[in-house]
Every structure is written in structure tokens, then in C-alpha cells.
Structure 1
Amino acid sequence: MQVSQLEQALQQQAGTLARELLQNAESARARMLAESAEKLRLAGEHEVLGAKVEAERLVRRQGQAAETRLAAELDRLRWALTESALAEVKIAFRHLVQDETRYLDVLEAWLAAAAQALPPGDLVAEVRPEDEKRLAPRWMKCARARRGVASRSPRTAIPAKAASGYGWPTIAPNTTRRSKPATRAWPTNWHA
């Protein structure tokens, strides 16, 4: 009986040990499956994030390229508009120059506006030789009307100060710098 009891105890112990080993193996298997599933999930997320980052980079590059193309097109259109406006201004000036009375009134207004806008001091207006000839007959009248110092000739540069700043400016030929002769029918070398 002792032998059978010992056998029975050994069998129970072996069965318990086998069940424990089986449970341990099952839990190790479940843990390994869970870890593998987690690694696969993390690898998948990493791939998805990498793909998203790459897609965002590609979209950003395409957007920047589109912006650059649009900016270049806008610059081209702006330049074309500027060229067109300048061409129209040249035509308008040609028409203005042909109307002697209106042209002289505009020149007078521009000179008066320049004289009022600039700070006090001497002002010499450079005009084209054709405009100097046109302005000479009106110059004395304009200089007196603007409370400046009337010069004897539009070529004489005399300070033209009035109580509130500039009076009527004096006119001098373009002798301070060499420039190409004006080929346009409108002022090309206005400056104070």
C-alpha cells in the first residue's frame, strides 16, 4: 500500500507539475503572441506615420512649387501691366505736349507742387530745352505770382524763397550732369 500510495502521490505531483508547465507554456505563448501583435501594431503605426510624413512633405513641395509658379505668373502679369501703363502714359504725355496751353499749365502746376512739397532752400528745376523755351515767356509772371524772387531769365538760378518755404522755383538748363538728349515728348529729367 505504501508503494501504491507513493505511486499515486508521484502521479499527482507529476500531473500537477505537468499542468503547471502547460499553464506556464500557454501563458508564455499568449505573452509572445501579444508581444508580437504589439510589435506588428507599432511597426504598422510607424509605417503609417512615415507615409503620412512623406505625403505631407510631398504636398508641401507641390504647394511651394505651385506658389512659386503663381508668383512668377503674377510678376509677369504685373510687369506686363506696368509696361502697358507706361506705354499709355507715354501716349498721354505725347498728346499733352501737343496741347501747348494745357501742357504749360501742367508744367506750372508740377513746379508749384514741387516747390511747396520740398523743404526750404534753393530749388533749381531742370527742364528739357524745348520746355525751357516754352516756359520763358510765362516765367516772370509765374515767379511773381508765387511770391518767389523773379529772375530775369528762366536760365538764371536764383534762390526762390517765400515766407512759407519755397516760392516759385528757378529754371536752369541741364548742366549739372550729362544725359542723353530727351527723345520722348514729355519731361524725362525732373528733379530738385
Structure 2
Amino acid sequence: MSRSNHKQQTTNNKQQTTNNKQQTTNNNYYLKAAINWLLLLLEQKAQTGETTAAELAAAEDMLLTAERSEPAPALIRLRQQLRLSQFEANLLLLCVAMELNPNIPQLYAIIQGGERNYPTFYLAFLLFKDPSWDIVSPERPLRYWQLIEILQSGVEPLMNSPLRADEKIVNYIKGLNYLDDRLAKLVLPWRAMGYGDTQYNNL
């Protein structure tokens, strides 16, 4: 590698490091804002606290500010790339939130009658604006891309069945972007196949 190429590579690496740090900062801020907004929404619906409309509006404003940050938070990128509706993105957040805050399942149970301490389509319809029945379709992104799993028993209605976000998606939204372990044994890194940057750039 020539001296000029080495210098450019060093500059690129520093820029990438800076971008990664900003990405982590933005993602953490977004998740904090999203969970705070969701908690207030759940508490209001469950009538377990004294959440006011003003507090909920302020939390929503903070969330919208976090959504507009650059680089975009992981869930926002996912929503854009897979063309999720806002309602679908909120349902995905509903599934991921259980992994981020231990108090949330209890609120799910209270709102759903005391036993169902897990996210459901029914809960999403109760909580979020602009609900749409097509969210349950296998052709919509949540199910088509297997972002969520429906744990439906033989007699359980689809709307009340437990939902679970795919582990890889949960970790991606947290900011942990890695190769899915279900694919790790089937693929090789580009460099391990004997290709360098030059060959890659010329493709």
C-alpha cells in the first residue's frame, strides 16, 4: 500500500470510528426516549400512575427529536429500509421493550386483564394511533421479514397470541449489529475468500 493510500485509509478509519460513536450515542438516546414514552403511555392506559397529557406530549416530542438524529437510530433505519408503517414500528418497539425494562411486562398484564404479560396485536390496537388490520398479514414487513414471531397455540385467537421479536432484531435495535448466528456457518467474510478492497470496489 502506498503512503498516500495508507494516509487515506487512516483518515477513513478515524471517520468511521467517529461515526460509530455518534451512532451509539444517538441510538442510546433514542431508546431512552422511546422507552420513556412507552412507559408513560402504558401507565396512562393501565391507570397505575398520574401521567398527564402534558407529560405524554413532552415525551412524544423528545422521541420525535431523537428519531430525527443523524446517523439515524437502528429502529428508524429498520423502519425506513423495510418500509414499516408507524403502527408496525410501534408494535415492534412493544416487543423489544420487554428486553429493555423489567417493569413493562407487568403493565402489559394490567392492560390486558391481569394474565397476558406479553405483547399482542390486541395490545397494540389498544395503545397506538392509526391501527390497521393488515399488520397481521404474512405479506406485511413484520411477518414477511420475520421480525416478529407469533406464539399461537391451537385455540388462542391470533389477536391475543404472544408476540416475540426475533433475537437478531432485538440486538440490532439495541445497537449490536453482527452476523446472524444462523448464517455464520454458511458464509465467509469477504477478505477470507481472498478478495481485497480493490476487487470489491470494482464490482
TM-score, normalised via structure 1 length: 0.32
Q: Which structure has the larger Rg over C-alpha atoms?
A: 1
